[in-house]
Amino acid sequence: MTSLANIFQGIENSALRIRDAVTNEDTDYSAKSNQSGEIQLKLDILSDLIIAEEFSKLPEVKSIASEEKEEEEVLHEDGEFLIAYDPLDGSSLINVNLSVGSIFGIYRGGWSAEKMVASVYVVYGPRTEMVTAYKKQVRHYIYRHGRFKELEQIKLGKRGTLNAPGGTQQNWTKKHKAMVDGLFSDGYRLRYSGGMVPDLHHILLKGGGLFSYPATSDKPLGKLRKLFEVFPFAFVYEMAGGEAIDENGGRLLELPCSDPHETSPCFFGSEYEIGLVKDVYGAN
């Protein structure tokens, strides 16, 4: 197997263990917070340990950075790849039995977005699915009868029907609210669970739409973390034929990242909806 195939296999192994933990363990909070100030569930910590344990078996993994860890951790000095991950995104939704996920960005030669070589996410819902973006292909797998079975590749249409607006409306800017309202007036349907992984997966599988997490009055730099959430999904959306931009209209994958826990306002969607964002935010 190539080194990256080993990493994908390591992610599959972690995913099955995390799926079991989500099914069987309780959803108590721990006494700790992560770097972004969110109180960690015991399941966040367990998922983080599972992934670190699986990657520590792979000599190709040089170092890991996790949403749940303060600092990067070197695993194998001679390894080729760096992996940033969010072990259990949306974990506060587990006790109401909504879908959650794991997100991985795989880099070679440094943590900057242009060094990303692949990204992967896993959705834990009624079914467990995995999506990999690598070499211009977005592959979709479903866990069925004891193995991940490959389905059709994912491609976004030029224009979709779904609108997933993140953050609290009260804290949106006027222009952002006008844009979201404009989409609804145009027939777009609201699809927002509050879990980034299922919400972005939903748009990808239904052919397109817009997911936005803008700069808000309470979070002027957005909420979603570049390394653990924003870059990996930007990579998937671009490879699926969509676009992923910030509020200035620039590609998310060209943003610098000086701290692993840094955030950015972000917009993911198909060509038409991203064009609208650029019009409203003045980037066109």
- Residues of this chain that interact with ligand F6P (CB under 6 A) are 89-90, 166-167, 194-196, 199, 223
The residue among 75 and 255 lying less far from ligand F6P, judged by its C-beta, is 255
Residue 140 interacting partner from Mn ion, ligand F6P, none (CB closer than 5 to 8 Å by kind) = none
* # binding residues, Mn ion (CB under 5 A): 2
Q: Kindly state the tokens that stand for 239.
A: 């490879």
Residue 195 interacting partner from ligand F6P, Mn ion, none (CB closer than 5 to 8 Å by kind) = ligand F6P
Q: In the bound complex, which residue of the shown chain has the CB atom lying closest to Mn ion?
A: 89
Least distance between ligand F6P and beta carbon 3 (Å):
29
Least distance between ligand F6P and beta carbon 32 (Å):
16
Kindly write down the DSSP assignment for every residue of 117-170, as one continuous string. EEEEEEEESSSEEEEEEETTEEEEEEEETTEEEE-PPP---SS-SEEEE-S-GG
Q: Kindly state the tokens that stand for 191.
A: 């699809």
Least distance between ligand F6P and beta carbon 90 (Å):
4
The residue among 87 and 160 lying less far from Mn ion, judged by its C-beta, is 87
Least distance between ligand F6P and beta carbon 27 (Å):
15
Does residue 68 touch Mn ion according to CB under 5 A? no
Q: In the bound complex, which residue of the shown chain has the CB atom lying closest to ligand F6P?
A: 196
Residue 139 interacting partner from Mn ion, ligand F6P, none (CB closer than 5 to 8 Å by kind) = none
Least distance between Mn ion and beta carbon 136 (Å):
26
Per-residue mark of binding to Mn ion, 82-101 (x: CB under 5 A): ----x--x------------
The residue among 4 and 200 lying less far from Mn ion, judged by its C-beta, is 200
The residues of the shown chain that bind Mn ion, judged by CB under 5 A, are 86, 89
